Amino acid sequence: MQYDGGEASARRVARNGLLVLFATVTVAAAPPAAPDWAFPGTGPTDTKKPEASAVVRLAGSSVVFQRGDFNGAQAIDWFPGSHPLAPQIVMHAGPNGRFACGYCHLPDGRGRPENARLQGLPVEYIVEQVEAFANGTRRSAVPYMPTQYMTEVAHALAPEDLKAAADYFSRIEPQSFTQVVEAATIPAPSAWHFVYRFDRARRERLGLRIIEGPVDREQFELRNPATRYIAYVPKGAIARGRAIAEHGAAGGPACKSCHGQTLVGIAGTSPSFLARQLMNFRSQKRNDPGAAPMQAVAAPLTDSQIIDVAAFVASRRPWTRAEMEKSMNTDSAGSKQ
């Protein structure tokens, strides 16, 4: 071996050291993989599907549907008098699409655990997010069918229809339908229609998960807007999440520093939906306009911390449209100073 002198050797050692350092930093910076529990799939399908012409009724409603109506092309509106008159695009798919806004998000925009609650959100925000789905800047940390559906809808929506839907949903007061329950063991869950169904004859350890599903599976399947959900979270998650919301985690800002004391925009939202969004930000697959601050907040969070903060935020009462308006006015005034 030929001796190349101390200076060349020093350069080689330095170069190799930098390569090792770069590799270490790269590995450390790589976001952790999103856990499977946060993105449940469709689960097993019923092999005995009823005829499309089969009549479907819901107790307390005078509306009648056929089983074939549950194909996404129209909203299943059991109680038309319970919400303002909705624009056509909310109730029926557009000419180039196959899903009505109100089919997935329900006619009054309350949403379900697999998608967003649209009630009371600012018009501009709703429009911006749908456009982000269309241009590919809002994606999921892992392939997730509801995100794919939303992307398909976003591509098909005409600008005037998007604006009409956003105007409509923004005028409705936010509501919450999920009970957050701390538990060590839970009824055995299985993925089903992007949520979980529970086998109450068996139990298993919850571990570090949020497992959310309908209390009544039949009402969920009928798309009854009154469907209630239960979300199991680890013991102590709500208290730990409160500390993160009020004081931050991993040196990051507190949730309340941006969302305020009432957690405007997020309080009372499905905890599994919140956890997915934090994981989407952490992975930087969600890169829509304004995502940078949330990417920075989510980047150092562990799965356990995401579970905790989602549990706390979901357990709070829903924010109100008045609180949203006040928050927006405060932000607007601050930006002018």
260, part of any domain: yes
* Full residue range of the structural domain in which residue 242 is found: 176-336
Residue 20 exposed, middle or buried by CB count within 10 Å (0-12, 13-18, 19+): exposed
pLDDT confidence band for 335 (50 / 70 / 90):
low
User: Does 49 score more than 80 pLDDT?
Assistant: no
CA distances to 7, 9, 12, 16, 17 from 4, rounded to whole Å, are 8, 7, 11, 16, 19
Give me the mean pLDDT over the 207-234 stretch: 98
Say if residues 213 and 43 touch (Cβ distance below 8 Å).
no
Same-domain pairing of 152 and 79: yes
43, part of any domain: no
Same-domain pairing of 324 and 180: yes
216, part of any domain: yes
User: Does 30 score more than 60 pLDDT?
Assistant: yes
Give the bridge partners for 213, in sequence order: 230
Same-domain pairing of 126 and 260: no
pLDDT of residue 334: 58
5, part of any domain: no
User: Does 1 score more than 80 pLDDT?
Assistant: no
pLDDT confidence band for 8 (50 / 70 / 90):
very low
Same-domain pairing of 225 and 308: yes
Assign residue 246 a region (left: φ > 0; alpha: ψ between -120 and 50; beta: otherwise). alpha
pLDDT confidence band for 43 (50 / 70 / 90):
confident
pLDDT of residue 21: 40
Query: Which residue, 170, 203, 220, sits at the end of a domain?
Result: 170
27, part of any domain: no
User: Does 303 score more than 60 pLDDT?
Assistant: yes
Same-domain pairing of 180 and 323: yes
pLDDT confidence band for 304 (50 / 70 / 90):
very high
User: Does 23 score more than 80 pLDDT?
Assistant: no
Same-domain pairing of 135 and 241: no
pLDDT of residue 44: 74
pLDDT in tens, 89-124: 999 999 888 999 999 999 999 999 999 999 999 999
> What is the number of domains present in the chain?
2
More confident residue, 333 or 27: 333
User: Does 308 score more than 70 pLDDT?
Assistant: yes
pLDDT in tens, 179-203: 999 999 999 999 999 999 999 999 9
User: Does 167 score more than 50 pLDDT?
Assistant: yes
30, part of any domain: no
Regarding beta strands 178-182 and 55-56, do their DSSP bridges make them parallel or antiparallel, or are they unpaired?
unpaired
Residue 276: how many CA atoms within 13 Å on its side-chain side? 26
CATH of the domain at 186: 1.10.760.10
More confident residue, 234 or 42: 234
Give me the mean pLDDT over the 132-155 stretch: 97
Same-domain pairing of 157 and 185: no
Phi and psi angles of residue 228, each rounded to the nearest 5 degrees, phi first = -100, 150
39, part of any domain: no
pLDDT of residue 24: 39
* Tokens encoding 265: 């925009």
203, part of any domain: yes
Same-domain pairing of 156 and 191: no
Query: Which residue, 147, 170, 193, sits at the end of a domain?
Result: 170
Same-domain pairing of 164 and 181: no
User: Does 11 score more than 80 pLDDT?
Assistant: no
The whole-angstrom separation of Cα 136 and Cα 155 is 10
Same-domain pairing of 100 and 195: no
* Tokens encoding 80: 């038309």
- Shortest CA distance to 99 belongs to which of 123, 128, 70, 120? 70
Same-domain pairing of 76 and 181: no
More confident residue, 223 or 3: 223
Same-domain pairing of 207 and 227: yes
The whole-angstrom separation of Cα 187 and Cα 202 is 6
pLDDT of residue 48: 72
- Shortest CA distance to 283 belongs to which of 35, 36, 39, 31? 31
* Beta strand extents in 130-228 (DSSP E only): 178-182, 185-192, 195-205, 211-214
- Shortest CA distance to 229 belongs to which of 320, 87, 323, 112? 112
Query: Which residue, 126, 143, 170, sits at the end of a domain?
Result: 170
What DSSP designation does 68 have? G
